[in-house]
Chains A and B, each alone.
Chain A
């Protein structure tokens, strides 16, 4: 039988059992009540309790069985598993009905079960982080068993090509051994991030200053959502824009000044990424500047400061922790951005300080390593996880620092809505 059919059968039977449980439970409760006995809960609540006591154990048995099969690879015949879980369901049904008694707190029981289910859902978020960590760290460790960690961190040559031949047992055919020195990748990532920040921080911060301090209310209510559109455009679209529209312009402009620019130059993805990140900075900075207490501004204006001086010397310094926090989030965003660089930056690891040259980034190499047809266990594939691990650690630290800074700011001015 197909998995789909089994699943349908399981669900169908369970539904029928549940319905039986509901109506039996309610009928019994109604009977008890009709006989004049006071009960702790409403008939419907007894009915729902019966349903829970039927479906809960059945689903639990099914899930545990499926998990054991997956993890331990034990071959439990699917039909037996199905039957077992349904038997357990029937037993639960009997117990649920039996518990429909005047002295049983059905409502509290339901309450406990629901709380348990909700807590289980909350645990999934932890499991996700945990899953990311385990999967990435696990594969990264396998990579570092093959390649030296020190070379990975300090090496300046990234040449995974030969690892494919090694994995195929034809190492001698590769001209040289594969090399996994990640320095050029990180250099490229930081270069593009730097370009992005040079665009995003001044434009974003000044926009926020205009919206928070100068703009009339109408402009403000219009400008904020319009800016957020920039953040809502899919990155793949930005990537296309960077590669097809911006990169040729940069090549032309560079040519005009007698400079030689690659079509995969670092400037195009950097600038476009910067545009994408503007609203991250402007939106958060705008909120932060708005929550600087008005008494600060008044204090400065009352001393005979101009509006500009007040903003520059009082408002912005007061909002600085929030602004830095926004910028750190933006940096973390830029470091992990993938599509723009995959489409517009180069593939060639290139250790250079010239943004007009092509260079590659960590995320580009992750994608490149995982979209080929290599065997999963090859060093090149696993290198993606090593790079991912570094990316994870860096962005996580940036996020944590940013959270701490914004919390400081909030405590300083006792603001609760940030």
Chain B
């Protein structure tokens, strides 16, 4: 019946090998997932970091009478194709604002055309050979270089890549998220408080619960359809605006906040409630003075995560028209606006290669904000985590 320990080892060795294979395979799978992540970030960095630099050239700007009529005349013919046309267009305006400029000629650093930028970054550009020679000469003279791209952060969208920036999209995102937060946070917390602390355990409550869990798993694009049909067509909320975008995202964020708040409320032990009831608090007083303060860190963490999710969302916003071309920074909740992800989407569709760089740059900014938000949530959770 009993075998000595060594006789079964041939078969056993095979089984051990199989077991080890599973271990290496599963480790490899995790490594592969990590590798995807690394490759992805590396790719985005390589593509996006150059967007934070932009070529500028030093040219003689001639603020002549003629230039105020024909902006192209402000710079010499040789460098004319190298200067951003958007910059030249602004010259008459500047002359109007500063009459003392008239008749002067100044050496100024101005934004170079997008093609010069691509050429200086070593990418393929559409510059002609003669133009390339001029750029090379300017570089030698120290009159053309890559500088930190402030335009990218201070201007809105533009059809000219050298003038395109994320400012209007960032503002749009901020305003949209404000609406989202203002709507979803109070309603979400109240719903969770009701379900967790007040609601009787009956059919209606169960229905609401199932509903909330399902809402969390509905494809986001369907919320866009809802926003289009209900908010825009039925209630007449203006299209493309932070209000309609914010409301649509609020409905999406609602289940996230509700679920997080319920978890936070549930983690407050019943002994706290019993103690408060014991000193004669009413139910609402128990919740307001004892349970909610203890659950607050969890609620905040969940809300930040929900907000970060809403911030990266694009599909429903496309449906409610938030992919508009917005060159100027939005200032009102009822004006057309765009958001960062939508801006990324728009740029990704531009044929000009320079926009790939802009797109990646925008992505880096978006990712940085999202990572900051999520890291804040994680730190908050760590800091306020309490074991009962």
Contact = CB atoms under 8 A, between A and B. Distances in A.
Interface stretch (A157-165, A257-265, A392-400): A392-400
A311 B18 CA distance: 12
A412 to B, nearest CB: 20
B244 interface: no
Contact of A125 (B26, B212, B219, B367): B212
Contacts of B318: 342, 367, 370-371
Interface in A199-244: 202-207, 209-211, 213-215, 223, 225-227, 229-230, 232-237, 239-241, 243-244
A359 interface: no
Contacts, number: 263
Interface stretch (A49-57, A80-88, A383-391): A383-391
A111 interface: yes
Interface stretch (B63-71, B141-149, B220-228): B220-228
B208 A370 contact: no
A119 B18 CA distance: 57
Contacts of A204: 29, 33
A234 B191 contact: no
Interface in B6-45: 15-16, 18-23, 25-30, 32-34, 36-37, 40, 43-44
B198 A367 contact: no
Given A236-B344, A400-B214, A110 B222 contact: no
A66 B45 CA distance: 50
A226 B367 contact: no
Contacts of A338: 219-221, 314-315
Interface string A389-418: 001100110011001000000000000000
B217 A235 contact: no
Q: Considering residues B32, B47, B218, which has the most beta carbons from chain A within 10 angstroms of its beta carbon?
A: B218
Q: Considering residues B30, B282, B378, which has the most beta carbons from chain A within 10 angstroms of its beta carbon?
A: B30
A136 interface: yes
A363 B219 contact: yes
Interface string A339-360: 1001100000000000000000
Interface string A74-110: 0000000000000000000000000000000001101
Interface stretch (B76-84, B101-109, B229-237): B229-237
Interface residues of B, number: 90
Interface string B199-210: 100000001101
A240 B194 contact: no
Given A122-B191, A132-B223, A135-B229, A306 B16 contact: yes
Given A111-B283, A400-B214, A371 B323 contact: yes
Contact of B33 (A111, A215, A278, A396): A278
Contact of B26 (A126, A206, A225, A388): A206
A337 interface: yes
A174 interface: no
Interface in A115-160: 115, 117-119, 121-126, 128-129, 131-132, 135-136, 138-139
Contact of A396 (B29, B218, B311, B348): B218
A209 B198 contact: no
B242 interface: no
B374 A232 contact: yes
A336 B316 CA distance: 12
A189 to B, nearest CB: 11
Q: Considering residues B187, B221, B345, which has the most beta carbons from chain A within 10 angstroms of its beta carbon?
A: B221
Contact of B284 (A114, A226, A275, A384): A114
B190 A121 contact: yes
Nearest to A238: B40
A31 interface: no
A278 to B, nearest CB: 5
A119 B15 CA distance: 59
Contact of A240 (B19, B186, B195, B348): B348
B327 interface: no
A53 B327 CA distance: 48
Given A230-B33, A278-B33, 14 more contacts: A108-B282, A123-B208, A125-B211, A139-B225, A206-B30, A210-B23, A210-B27, A213-B26, A234-B314, A236-B344, A335-B219, A338-B314, A370-B225, A388-B225
25 contacts: A111-B284, A121-B191, A132-B223, A135-B228, A135-B234, A207-B33, A214-B27, A227-B33, A230-B36, A234-B312, A234-B314, A234-B370, A236-B312, A240-B344, A240-B360, A282-B33, A307-B22, A312-B22, A329-B217, A335-B219, A338-B221, A339-B314, A342-B318, A391-B221, A395-B217
Closest 8 CB pairs of A and B: A336-B219, A308-B19, A234-B312, A206-B29, A135-B229, A118-B194, A121-B190, A210-B26
